[in-house]
Amino acid sequence: MPFKSHWTFAFLILTVSCCFADDDHEMEEFLKREYSLSKPYQGVGSSGSSHWELMGDAMVTTEQVRLTPDMQSRQGAVWSRIPCHLKDWEMQVHFKIHGQGKKNLNGDGLAIWYTKERMQKGPVFGNVDNFTGLGVFVDTYPNEEKHIEAQKKRYTPRTQRIFPFVLAMVGNGSISYDHERDGRPTELGGCNAMVRNLKHDTFLFIRYIRRRLTVMIDIDGQHEWRDCLDIPGVRLPQGYYFGATAITGDLSDNHDIISLKLYQLTVLRSPKEEEEEEEDEITIPSVDNMELLRMGESEEGMSGIAIFFTVLFSMLGCIFLIVIGLVVYSHWNESRRKRFY
């Protein structure tokens, strides 16, 4: 699998760059400190000169930026102050979600953002609805499956989801996140990720190269990336802000950010590509072929039984047509013979 090994290689490079960043000048250029947040979080939340600003219930300790404590009805955020004008980048998120609640008695999750808006409270994991840009959510509470009857009607076992679930969405300022359906109507894709109450470190990678969005997770403590989603044709304008937010409701969790590391990725482009991208400047976020993505999902949603019956009936249909054909042919043959004799 050349693709897999490609990522492994990329991961190795990143690991090396992270660990030797302080000694190696070249690698330092790779990590963009102005868009990164890491220990000891100097000045975050207290100094106006910090690159990051806190909001709501978020608090800085020596170990983490705690977006929300494990208490009801909290929301918190940390936002970059500097708009990001990089074309190709990768955000490496080291996070931790933990709390007293038993499985599915915890909520609601955290989100990583690259949006036009910043420092605004709202219902979408602590950010505003109808946001403009990219949101990657670690949704820890299954709102929709709560309505078990609706769930049974709408989803077969194959399309039911296990939570926590990682999901990506691109908003253009007028697309609403459907909280009651855990964002399914507007999702680009996602994957399940058992990230709660783990002893080892958990990471999320968001990579944006040549308008291709890739999300990967490393949550098993094995230092291996697992693909979560990979979508081409994702158009994100430059000059938006990175941020992380979290929210709790009736159910809660500690939502901690340990670090956000932003890497600039150097991608060679031909002069023609450069020109094309300059002409086709993106001003509103969008995703190419969103309809196809949706269609792909509904096909995937076909259950095994449905496929079995479809195949069975198509085969019966074929046999029926062949039999009819044979009958008609022999009839015709017979009448032709009659004409001759």
Binding site for Ca ion (CB under 5 A): 139, 141, 143, 182
Q: How far is CA 293 from the centre of its chain?
A: 14
List of residues 6+ apart from 199 with CB closer than 8 A: 221
C-beta closer to Ca ion: residue 120 or 143: 143
- Choice between 51 and 181, CB closer to ligand NAG: 181
Tell me how far, at minimum, the Cβ of 92 lies from Ca ion, in Å.
Answer: 24
Q: Tokens for 217, please give them.
A: 């997770």
Give the shortest CB-68-to-Ca ion separation in angstroms: 15
> Is 175 or 251 the residue whose CB approaches ligand NAG more closely?
175
Name the DSSP class of 262: E
CB 111, min distance to Ca ion, A: 11
139 binds, among Ca ion, ligand NAG, none (CB under 5 to 8 A by kind): Ca ion
Q: What angle do CA 269, 283, 182 make, to 5 degrees?
A: 100
8 binds, among ligand NAG, Ca ion, none (CB under 5 to 8 A by kind): none
Minimal distance, residue 60 CB to Ca ion, in Å: 27
d(CA 39, CA 52): 13
Q: Which of Ca ion, ligand NAG, none has residue 173 at its interface (CB below 5 to 8 Å by kind)?
A: ligand NAG
Which C-beta is closer to Ca ion: that of 143 or that of 159?
Answer: 143
H helical segments located in 184-301: 271-279, 290-300
- 94 has which bridge partners? 203, 259
Residue 126 to residue 149: CA distance in whole angstroms:
29
Residues 192 and 164: beta-carbon distance below 8 Å? yes
Cβ closest to ligand NAG, residue 282 vs residue 321: 282
Q: State the residues that interact with ligand NAG by CB under 6 A.
A: 129-130, 172-176, 284
Nearer to ligand NAG, 177 or 203 (CB): 177
If you write DSSP's letter for every residue of 125-179 in order, what string do you get?
A: TTB-SS-EEEEEEEE-S-TTTTSHHHHHHH--TTT---SSEEEEEEEESS----G
The binder of 143, among Ca ion, ligand NAG, none, by C-beta within 5 to 8 A per type, is Ca ion
Distances (CA, A) of 51 to 61, 82, 83, 117, 201: 17, 7, 10, 16, 25
Residue 129: name its binding partner from ligand NAG, Ca ion, none (Cβ under 5 to 8 Å by kind).
Answer: ligand NAG
Q: Which does 175 bind (CB under 5 to 8 A by kind): ligand NAG, Ca ion, none?
A: ligand NAG
Q: Cβ of residue 120: shortest distance to ligand NAG, in angstroms?
A: 10
Least spacing, CB of residue 89 vs Ca ion, in Å: 27
